[in-house]
Amino acid sequence: MNNEIELSVVLPCLNEEEAIAVCINKIREVLAKEKINGEIIVADNGSTDRSREIAQKLGAKVVIETQRGYGAAYLRGLKEAKGKYIIIGDADNSYDFHDIPKFLKPLKESSDFVMGSRFSGKIHKKAMPWPNRYIGNPLLSGMCRLFFNTRLSDIHCGMRGFTATSYRRMKLRSLGMEFATEMVVSALQIGLKINEVPINYHIRKGASKLNPLSDAWRHIRFMLLYCPVWLYFLPGLIGFIAGLLLLIITYKGPLLFLGRSWDIHFNILACIITILSYQVLNLGIYAHTYAIKERLLKYDSFTLFFQRHFSLEKGLLLGLIFFISGFLINLSIFIEWFSKHFGQLYRIRESILAMTLLVIGLQTIFSSFFISLLFLRKKR
């Protein structure tokens, strides 16, 4: 007789005495009907009601995680999972565990990771508050699709399945609500074969533990940290180009716009925008390089191109060109000032341009050293 566990179902739990029995019984029904050798793991995250007692009486394996957090509970429960396949879902009866076969079928065929989609399935009346249904979830899912080039329709659906091998490859670490986002992003980063199945979403039993604003920010923060292109490169590039254009436009004299004359102060603003944006671009390179070195992101075409063509010497040369250009402009201004016996001089715009070039040159020189340090590889 083969006693190998085929399926592990992991439920995070925090004061779910009203729903935990319903969820476990549904899972047991599916295991019996489909003749699956499975286990039910309840990861309790500090319940003060009868959740643990109920789960144990119904035959579930209960493990306790003292550190609060959605991700912390899941990491503890998943650590105990022995099944070849793993299904996860909330213990509040909002997800219908009768849908488990929908996840197992593609997993057994060829998929590594299967997401449930509430928007492709059925969302029962009052199951999801309208701000979450029409604003929060579509916005967050849209950001993920844009940032990480995926077509998944419901990024934050809590019911999902994956193989045990795929779970180990994802190397998840988040402790809070962003755990759900990390799982999807990690699956995309390592190239798992992802499928999506429609599911039913019901009204939860018991009080909700969600904090819409803070939880949404956790998801947004995670996506931005894992996507330097959108956090650094695009804002930096747009600001740098805009700053340079303003410097060029206002170099010869005031800019007439909207019936007003935009003069020296606007020129100084252009200088500040250019310098700050260039620094943001550099930070993007630092962040992207570090994330890849620490295996938080995978190598992409930009990194390979940059690594192939960048060298410390090229960076130093570029920085020196900027710096010397600014220095020569300042030198010509000083010579003219000296020839006029340090009298009045009206070359403020040239001085602003020269200062911009000097700062960008120094930034490029020191950034080149730092980027070269990041590219260094440890000897094994």
User: Does the pLDDT at position 369 exceed 70?
Assistant: yes
The answer to whether residue 380 sits within a structural domain is no
Same domain membership, residue 326 and residue 183? no
**What average pLDDT does this structure show over 97-117?**
96
Same domain membership, residue 232 and residue 198? no
Same domain membership, residue 188 and residue 56? yes
The answer to whether residue 92 sits within a structural domain is yes
Specify whether the CB–CB gap between 14 and 45 falls below 8 A: yes
Specify whether the CB–CB gap between 246 and 273 falls below 8 A: yes
Degrees to nearest 5, angle at CA 293 with 151 and 321: 100
Same domain membership, residue 276 and residue 220? no
Of 205, 225, 245, which residue sits at a domain end? 225
Same domain membership, residue 216 and residue 72? yes
| Buried-exposed string 59-74: b where 16+ CB fall within 10 A, e elsewhere | ebbbbebeeebbbbbb
Query: In this structure, what token pair is assigned to residue 93?
Result: 């009866």
pLDDT score for 228: 81
Same domain membership, residue 291 and residue 177? no
Same domain membership, residue 69 and residue 34? yes
d(CA 222, CA 179): 9
pLDDT score for 338: 83
User: pTM for the complete prediction?
Assistant: 0.78
Contacts of 51-59 with C-beta under 8 Å, sequence gap 24+, read 51/13, 51/14, 51/15, 51/16, 51/17, 51/20, 51/91, 52/13, 54/17, 54/20, 54/21, 54/24, 55/13, 55/20, 55/24, 58/21, 58/24, 58/25, 58/28, 59/24, 59/28
The answer to whether residue 207 sits within a structural domain is yes
Q: Which range scores top for mean pLDDT: 59-73, 131-145, 283-297? A: 59-73
Q: Among candidates 360, 349, 366, which has minimal Cα distance to 277?
A: 360
pLDDT-derived band at 299 (thresholds 50, 70, 90) equals: low
- Please write down the HEC assignment for all residues of 275-339: HHHHHHHHHHHHHHHHHHHCCCCCCCHHHHHHHHHCCHHHHHHHHHHHHHHHHHHHHHHHHHHHH
**What average pLDDT does this structure show over 337-354?**
81
d(CA 163, CA 192): 10
Same domain membership, residue 263 and residue 311? yes
**What average pLDDT does this structure show over 74-93?**
96
CATH number for the domain harbouring residue 79: 3.90.550.10
The answer to whether residue 38 sits within a structural domain is yes
What's the chain's Rg over C-alpha atoms? 28
**What average pLDDT does this structure show over 64-88?**
95
The answer to whether residue 191 sits within a structural domain is yes
State the total domains in the chain: 2
Q: Which domain holds residue 49?
A: 7-225
Instruction: Please report the sign of the dihedral spanned by the C-alpha atoms of residue 301, residue 302, residue 304, residue 309.
Output: positive
**What average pLDDT does this structure show over 80-85?**
96
User: Does the pLDDT at position 380 exceed 60?
Assistant: no
**What average pLDDT does this structure show over 77-88?**
96
Of 225, 258, 284, which residue sits at a domain end? 225
**152-203 pLDDT, tens digit each:** 999 989 999 999 999 999 999 999 999 999 999 999 988 999 999 999 999 9
Specify whether the CB–CB gap between 357 and 325 falls below 8 A: yes
pLDDT-derived band at 2 (thresholds 50, 70, 90) equals: low
Same domain membership, residue 250 and residue 152? no
Of 2-6, 252-256, 277-281, 376-380, give the lowest mean pLDDT range: 376-380
pLDDT score for 378: 47
User: Does the pLDDT at position 377 exceed 80?
Assistant: no
The answer to whether residue 2 sits within a structural domain is no
Same domain membership, residue 162 and residue 23? yes
pLDDT score for 379: 41
Q: What percent of the chain has pLDDT over 90?
A: 58
The answer to whether residue 168 sits within a structural domain is yes
Of 225, 248, 269, which residue sits at a domain end? 225
Same domain membership, residue 237 and residue 221? no
The answer to whether residue 193 sits within a structural domain is yes
Q: Among candidates 22, 44, 32, 36, which has minimal Cα distance to 83?
A: 36
Helices (H), the chain: 20-33, 51-57, 70-80, 100-109, 130-131, 137-148, 164-170, 179-189, 212-225, 228, 234-249, 264-293, 301-309, 312-339, 348-375
